[in-house]
Structure formats: structure tokens, C-alpha cells
A and B are shown apart, each in its own frame.
Chain A
């Protein structure tokens, strides 16, 4: 299995993602500079967290026009599995590979803390390994994670079962735990084909023993399952 983690100027969670993927899969992912133009040899493409282009203009907006992104869009159309976290999710939204938009947190503050998430799609998707315990506890670290979807988009997301994660409390109550103002508590979404997953929280920081919280493991196992 071969994984590419795309590195943009300002990306800063590529190491965390590489450590997590290596821990679960036994393979060290390859870091790919954003000026590359082909990704044909990879089973999984990861857009990691950070502040690409300093979050100038809008988060992810400049990265969406980077040379590599044309290829990411092409790979998305081909059905290559793509996983975007935090700034990576923002890029997937900016390229319209995923629907919706990410606005400033409603507190107007950057927030770094552990939150509860409920996996909402447990069918044959990257999140199906979470079927036995769909509530996970992982960190967030973002200033612009307030997911916005208008009624049309929201209805379409529901209709096509595209909502991957919602914020919730520890009991899984999805009317609670919305700390950033996201529409319908949405923390992560799929594309229609369920080949692309984007989410604001950082499951890669809840994997290793010393994280003292391995709640992100099921998700990573599920992603790798989809590749074989």
C-alpha cells in the first residue's frame, strides 16, 4: 500500500499524519511537495493539517490552486481514496471535491481541545470500522472549522448519506458538543461516492501510545481496509 501526504508551504501536521499512518499500516508514507504534478502510483492521498499559504485569502483557497491540486482533482474523479484533515478538509471544500464551506469558529477564537465525535456512516466506507463504537474522542485544533452548508447542500448530504462525523457529547448526543457553530454539528463529510473523506478534527493525534488516547485507531484501520 502506498500513501502520499501532500506538503504545501505552511503545512505543519505532515509528521503527525505520517507517524499515525506508519503506526497503523507499517509503511512510511511519502511526503510529496505541492509543485509535483502526478500522483498515479498511490492508493491513498492525504491532505494534512496546517496553515497552507498562511491561511491568507481564505483557509485552503491558495492551496486549491497549487500545481498538485489539478492532479488531486483528477484522482478524486478516478476514485482514488483521499483523506483531508483540518486544512486538508478546507482545501477539499475550496476545490469543491467536497460540498460546503468552512467559516471562522463562532467564538472567533482558535480552539485546541479534545472533543467527542459520532461516526454517522457505518456502511461500506472508511468509517465502517467504527460500527461497534461509533463515538470517538479526538483533538481539534483550528480557527476556521465552522462547517457551513445551506439547506440544499444539507439535504443532499443527508440524502446521499455523506455526513461522516458529527460533534456530540460523551454519550453521543448530537444536539450537544457543537463548539464552533457547524451546521447540524457536522465535523466531517464524504463525497457522494464515499471515496473522499474530509474532517476538521485530528484523529492522527489520537493514535500512538504516548497520546494516551488511541481513539483515532478505528478510523485509520477503516481507511486502510478500503484500499485492499
Chain B
């Protein structure tokens, strides 16, 4: 047995702390987990080894509270090439091409150091995508901040947006959309979820799996420093006051190096030299080497002296746990080293052979002439704890007051304006103008863009895929979650997040294909939080199954709570769809005067959890809207058909704020040099609830209402003729509001807030 680690006195380092159960606890291992380490090794671990066990078994790396439940998600379909388990999911988008995508959180670091936290989140997710051989073509994000009145919120918004902008813009990957919410439940834990979509040739996809013994292990990219040590452990614990002291655990990003790494990797990937590749993200060299060893069924011996180092006298512990950014580990075919090195030299990047694969399934580390670690890989991975944490009851929402919630002063336009200027509904121009949404020249619609930025606003971002074919296809991408629904009813909220991406993609005419998820919750050791988590996953699973819309990648972020206060459950979904003929893609802006405005779907019924209640009456209460998945599928297919048949001129889904807010958004987006297209609405404010957020609904405009109505009748699709497009004003009953007035107020909130007005 070589399962002992010899320590001699050749090391220039000071002696390491003694390893005890107490040290294990400091590193986040509980007493049972520490005992398991002793059992696996049959001896006391070294300081390096206990560090490796603790990060590999952290919630962030091991998914120990979530794995059991994640298995419930549907992950396959004929078009899925790679489901969860690799760096990113991969789907077939025809013509031999693949879309590669994933979403990941960088919540904890972004709260502590917003610029670097957000920047390295964006860097990390792009690395996941190009590790697989895909060129990133679109970035998205989903951001949640605390209440605008909280003293830290403004600073966090400023830093996070600057960080995303600084990293993504420098990489030359367009940031094409996303969503931003504000709520007091995020006061102590903001959420920064970044998604990246890449494009690859199906025969040039690279995996972590596949390494064989006796092959060179190569380190490329930036040098390793002492930054981000134990970042994964930090991300696996609750915050307490004074958390800013954790700043040294936040990594520092260098997008320039990552841009070089991207180009160098893609250049090498054109050849046939890489056997297996893994980026160094959370838990850096530890998780990447363990991952490659585990997936290949092999062992790894690393000569850590050869790791390019930014600082002197680094210890094996520091090298293995550092989360320095912009690094990759790859296994090359023996003999390919020189060819690969020439490419990395061209791009001025470090390239070092730091070890070899072996057949003994052990992770061994040598440095300063001695051995520091010898861990059998299979138990490190397979015997990592899995917890079936107890589930209680999720918190219940407050009930609605039976007395009803009448329009204040009886004015519907006043209520509309109040909602359209609320933080969640106000224009996020201040944010997205800081993102380069146009680089690469293929963006044709950016979600949330309400005028000329890229010529067209749509429910989902649209990025064309260059091709030799006559018709050019495009990817449609949307990120969504409505946390207040998830709080009121985790199961329905999980369904709704999936359904909303499905609607947003359908509203552009694209076919929704697959999703990635980013599950942000509080402390899973609390039964009420665990109930939210399981409910959310089951909701996502139900919707993904019903809509043929599988989960191909994802990320879990737990312990988003501070001093016992958890965030709203926030399972963010990133959906990807494909439209074959990009020229037929549909926007949300009203186009022409005197077209008929039609709502597809059922009339609004219930105000539960609506923005109307929250902003007009100051009440957060009621049941979440119920998502009828059969209707979602039926209405979504119908929408795609009428777009493909060119029966409509605009389409927008009904979500936050209900029908009237959807119409207002279509009117505001119509801004051109000729002014706005408004609407004359034939809606009885007493007959239908215009602010209800019932699901499975869309608003469309058409110049041929007879044909569209006939088609609805024929296909048994519920519809309502809502009104007619008219110049510059939205009129309803005996009230009217100019679109310019509404738009100005909608645009004003965020810049004024950021200025402190």
C-alpha cells in the first residue's frame, strides 16, 4: 500500500497546522464527514488532503443536498447531445451544428465584491462553454437585488453591472438580454446568474470524459495566485454580518487573458490533440483534476512545482484550492505537447506539463521533493455525502382580502403608470446600454430593448447563426423566473419559470428546445427551505416534461441567506430555441396603425401575487397563478404557427403586470421617428381583470382579424379582440394616456435611482 504520505524536511514551507476534527469543522466538514475521510484514507489526512476533501464535499461542488432531487428532472430528447454532468449542455440545432449552454451563479462573491464577483461569474460561464469546443455567441444574465431603499443596493447594482460589462465586452461576446428584479428578500444576498450560449460543430465537441492512463496533463492560461482560496466553501455557507471580511476569497478576473485563452483553445481544438479538457472553476486545480480522473476512471499524479505561479513559496494546499481565473487543464495525446505549446506561445499564455495520468485511480501530489497528498479518487467522488434533508412546509403567502382591491380613484391609467414605473417594470436601459449587445454583428433582437439599439425588441433575444444556406437560422434565448410566485407556491412557481421562457421563445416564432437552470435558494438544512427547493424542482420537472423542453445543464446555489433571512426561492430558467428562418422572427413592438389587437388565451381572473397588488395596493399576497401546461403547449404551438404563416405583425406574452402592461410595452417599443403606435382598447375594466397575471396568454396584432379569428375558432384557441392600434395614445373606457408620457416615466426610474434622485 502506498496510501501513506511521506513527509520529509525538504520543503521550504513552515510546518502546516495539525489536522483535527476541529480543523475539519472550520473547513466546513461536519463530524460524520470528517470520520468518513478518516475511514477512506485509513489515517489522518494531511493539511492538503483535508483541504481537498472539504472543497470536493462542499455543497457547491458535491451538490450533496440537491443531487437526490435533481435526478427527477427530465434530461433527454432526440435533440439532446449532452445533458447535465459535463461543463455545459449540448443540443442539436441541425446542419451538423450544436448549441452549447449553461447558466451559473456567482451570488456570494458578488455581494462581497460586486465588480469582481460578477465579472468572474461571466468569465466562468464562458469558460464552461468554450471548454466544450464552442465559440460563445451570446451572454444573458438574471440579476436580483435588494429593495431599492436598502443602503447597499445602489452600490451593488453599479458594481455588478460594471463587472458584467467589463468582462463580457472585452471578450467580444454580445450580452443580449436578461432580467433584473428588486425585492427586500435579497437585501443580504443578491443573485448574479450568468448564462452563456455557444456554437459548435457537432463533430468537434470536447468533454471532460475520455482520458486514459499515461498521458500528459497540461496546464494552460493564467498563473495561479493566492486568490479565491476556499471560494467554494464560502459559497456553501450562510452569511453573517461582517461578511465583507471574506473579500480575499473572491477571485479577480482578467478578461483579456480569457479572450486569449478562448482563441488559443479554439485554435488547438481544430486539431486532434486534446483527449479531455476541463476548466478550472470552483475549487480550481482540485476539482478539474479530480473530475478528469473520475470521468476517465484513471489516476493523476501532479508535479506541483511545474504549475505556473504568480507568487513565491506557495504551498500545495494553496495551489490546489486557489480559484485564480482563466485557467484550463487538458489531457493531450502523448506527443502532441510541442504542437499545442506553439499555439499557446503564439497567444502569450502559460503552457506547462504538470503531470501524467496513471492507472491507479489515485490523486497524488508532489512538490518541493516530497509527497503531499495521496487520495483514492473513486471514494472522494462516489462516497461524497448525499443528504435527503427533511422537508417541512414551505411558508404560505398571506391571503387576499375578500373586500377586493378596487382601482384607486377608479383610474385604470393611473394604476398602469404606477406599475410601469415600479422598479421591476421600469426600463433597464441604464443597465443594458453598458453591455455591448452588438459585437459579432449577429444580434437581431435583444430582450428588453425598447428602441433602436439593435433595431427590434422581442420577447427573447435573437442571435443569427451564420450559415451558407439561403435562409439563415437564429437562436432565441430567454432567462426568466418570478420569485414572488415561487414563494407563494414553489411548485407552480417552478412551472411558471419554465413556461415563461417557453412563451418568450415562442413569441419570436422560435421552437423552444431545451433549458438550463440556476436554482437559488436559502439554507437547505431548514425544512421550510428544503420544501421550497423540492417544490421548485418538481415544478420545473413537470413543465419540462409536458413541454418537451428538457434540462441539459444547471447550477445550484444554496445558503442564500443572511442571519436567518432567506431569499425568495429563485429557480431561474434559461431557455434556448431555434427559428429556421430568422427573417420571419417576430418582434413585440406595434408596427402599423389600425391593426386589430387580439389576446390569445383566457381572460384574466385572479390578482394573486400580481404587481398590481404589490405596487398599487402595497400588498404581497394571494396564490400564485396556476400554470396549465396543456394550454401553454397548445397556445405556444398556435403562436408559432401564426408567426410562421405570417398572419401577425407583433407578438408579446402576458406576464408581469398582466394584459394592460403587455399592451403598454408593445406601444412603448413602437417608438420611431414618426412617434408611437398606441391603442384604442375596447375593454370593460369591470368585466375582465386587466392586471391579472394569468398564464398561457399572448397579445398579437394583425391586419387580417377575420382570418386569425377563424383560425382560433377552428383550432379551439380562446381569443379576445382587445382593440385597435391608433396613433400615440392608449385609450380605455373614458380614460387616455399618451405613450410618450408613459415611456418617459418608465425610462426615468432607474437612471434617477442610480443618480440618487
- Seen from chain A, the residues whose Cβ lies within 8 Å of a Cβ on chain B are 9-10, 12-13, 15-16, 19-20, 49-51, 53-56, 109-114, 137, 139, 141, 143, 170, 202, 204-205, 208, 210-213
Contacts and interface: CB of A to CB of B under 8 A. Distances in A.
A16 B439 CA distance: 7
Contact of B441 (A10, A111, A170, A204): A204
A13 B441 CA distance: 8
A202 B255 contact: no
For the complex, would chain A's binding face be called helix, strand, loop or mixed by DSSP majority? mixed
Contact of B172 (A13, A20, A109, A205): A13
B438 A213 contact: no
9 contacts: A9-B348, A12-B439, A16-B441, A51-B169, A54-B170, A55-B170, A111-B433, A112-B169, A113-B452
B495 to A, nearest CB: 34
B732 to A, nearest CB: 31
Contact of B433 (A20, A51, A112, A208): A112
Nearest to B257: A54
B441 A15 contact: yes
A139 B455 contact: no
Contacts of B435: 110, 112
Contacts of A12: 170-172, 259, 439
B171 A210 contact: no
Give me the 4 closest cross-chain CB pairs, A-B, nearest first. A12-B172, A54-B256, A212-B455, A16-B441
Contacts of A170: 673
B455 A202 contact: no
Most buried by B among A49, A137, A141, A213: A141
B638 interface: no
Given A15-B440, A110-B436, 5 more contacts: A110-B435, A112-B437, A204-B441, A210-B464, A213-B455
A166 B259 CA distance: 32
Nearest to B456: A212
A96 to B, nearest CB: 24
A56 B169 CA distance: 14
Contact of B256 (A13, A16, A53): A53
Contact of B436 (A54, A141, A210, A212): A141
Given A54-B170, A112-B453, A202 B438 contact: yes
A16 B260 CA distance: 19
A109 B254 CA distance: 18
Contact of B169 (A139, A141, A204, A210): A141
Residue among B166, B170, B472, B582 having the largest count of chain A Cβ atoms under 10 Å: B170
Contacts, number: 96
Given A53-B256, A54-B255, A16 B440 contact: yes
A210 B259 contact: no
Nearest to B445: A212
A13 B439 CA distance: 6
Contacts of A113: 433, 452-453
Interface in B616-663: none
Contacts of B20: none
Nearest to A213: B455
Contacts of A137: 452
Interface of B: 162, 165-166, 169-172, 254-257, 259-260, 347-348, 432-442, 444, 452-456, 464, 472, 582-583, 673
A10 B255 CA distance: 9
Given A110-B165, A110-B434, A208 B259 contact: no
Interface of B, helix, strand, loop or mixed by DSSP: loop
A173 to B, nearest CB: 15
Nearest to A13: B439
Interface core residue of A9, A15, A208 (most chain B CB under 10 Å): A9
A111 B437 CA distance: 10
B328 to A, nearest CB: 17
Given A114-B453, A141-B436, A210 B172 contact: no
Contacts of A13: 172, 439
A205 to B, nearest CB: 5
A213 B452 contact: yes
Nearest to B464: A210
Contacts of B438: 112, 139, 141, 202, 205
B170 A51 contact: yes
Contacts of B441: 15-16, 19-20, 204-205, 208, 211
Nearest to A113: B433
A216 to B, nearest CB: 11
Contacts of B162: 109
A15 B464 CA distance: 14
A137 B441 CA distance: 16
B178 to A, nearest CB: 14
B264 to A, nearest CB: 10
Contacts of A139: 438, 453
Nearest to B165: A110
Contacts of B452: 113-114, 137, 213
A9 B437 contact: no
B536 to A, nearest CB: 34
Contact of A51 (B259, B437, B456, B673): B259
Interface centre among B255, B259, B464 (most CB of A within 10 A): B259
Nearest to A12: B172
B440 A10 contact: no
Contacts of B347: 9
Contacts of B169: 51, 110, 112, 141, 143
Contacts of B673: 170
A210 B523 CA distance: 47
A10 B256 contact: yes
Contact of B455 (A9, A49, A211): A211
A212 B456 CA distance: 8
Contacts of A19: 441
A55 B170 CA distance: 9
A141 B260 contact: no
A139 B433 CA distance: 11
A202 B254 CA distance: 25
B256 A56 contact: yes
Given A16-B439, A205-B441, A9 B434 contact: no
A204 B257 CA distance: 26
A141 B439 contact: yes
A50 B172 contact: yes
A112 B449 CA distance: 12
Given A12-B172, A12-B439, A210 B582 contact: yes
A111 B453 contact: no
Contacts of A204: 441
A161 B582 CA distance: 43
A120 to B, nearest CB: 22
Given A16-B441, A141-B439, A112 B434 contact: yes
A54 B433 CA distance: 20
A111 B434 contact: yes
A10 B170 contact: yes
A34 B259 CA distance: 16
B21 to A, nearest CB: 46
Nearest to B169: A110
A179 B464 CA distance: 30
B436 A112 contact: yes
Contacts of B171: 12
A210 B464 CA distance: 9
